[in-house]
Amino acid sequence: MGFHEVHRLVLAVMVTAMMGTASVTALAEAPRPIRAKPGQRDITILNSSHRPIYQLRVSPSEADQWGDDRLGETATIPPGGSLRVPLGRTSDCQFDVQVIYDNVGQEERRAIDVCRTRIVGFDGSTAKMPPDPFAAARAITLTNRAGRAIRQVFISSPSADQWGDDLAPSRGIAPGQSGPITFRGGCTADMRVVFDNRSAEERRNIDFCADTAVLIRPGWTTEDAAAPAPALAPDEVTVLNLTGKSVTELYLRPESAKAEDDADLLGNAVLPVGGRLTLPFARGTACRFIARIIHGGDIDPSEQPGIDLCRDPTITLAPPKAAG
- Is residue 246 in some structural domain? yes
Give the pLDDT confidence of 53-85 residue by residue, as tens digits: 999 999 999 888 888 999 987 789 999 999 999
Instruction: Assess whether 25 and 58 both reside in one domain.
Output: yes
Instruction: Assess whether 176 and 257 both reside in one domain.
Output: no
- For the chain, the 3-state helix, strand and coil shares in percent, each to the nearest 5, are 5, 40, 50
Total domains in the fold of the chain: 3
* Closest to 40 measured CA to CA, from 99, 119, 114, 110: 114
Give the pLDDT confidence of 168-197 residue by residue, as tens digits: 998 999 988 899 999 888 888 889 999 988
- C-alpha to C-alpha distances, 73 to 9, 61, 82, 86, 98, nearest whole angstrom: 9, 25, 17, 18, 17
Give the pLDDT confidence of 274-297 residue by residue, as tens digits: 888 888 888 777 788 899 999 877
- Is residue 196 in some structural domain? yes
Global confidence as pTM: 0.40
Which helix (H) or strand (E) covers residue 288, if one does?
A: strand 288-294
- Is residue 198 in some structural domain? yes
Chain-centre distance of CA 151, in angstroms?
A: 18
- Is residue 100 in some structural domain? yes
Of 122, 147, 170, which one is at a domain's C-terminal end?
A: 122
- Is residue 222 in some structural domain? no
Give the pLDDT confidence of 142-167 residue by residue, as tens digits: 988 887 899 999 998 887 777 888 99
- Is residue 183 in some structural domain? yes
- Please, are residues 48 and 125 in contact by the beta-carbon 8 Å criterion? no
- Is residue 324 in some structural domain? no
Q: Which CATH number covers residue 187?
A: 2.60.40
Instruction: Assess whether 10 and 109 both reside in one domain.
Output: yes
The predicted model gives 131-140 an average pLDDT of: 75
Task: Look at strands 200-207 and 288-294 and give their pairing.
Answer: unpaired
d(CA 42, CA 21): 27
The predicted model gives 214-223 an average pLDDT of: 64
Strand partners, 214: 142
Domain that holds residue 301: 236-317
- Is residue 146 in some structural domain? yes
Instruction: Assess whether 105 and 174 both reside in one domain.
Output: no
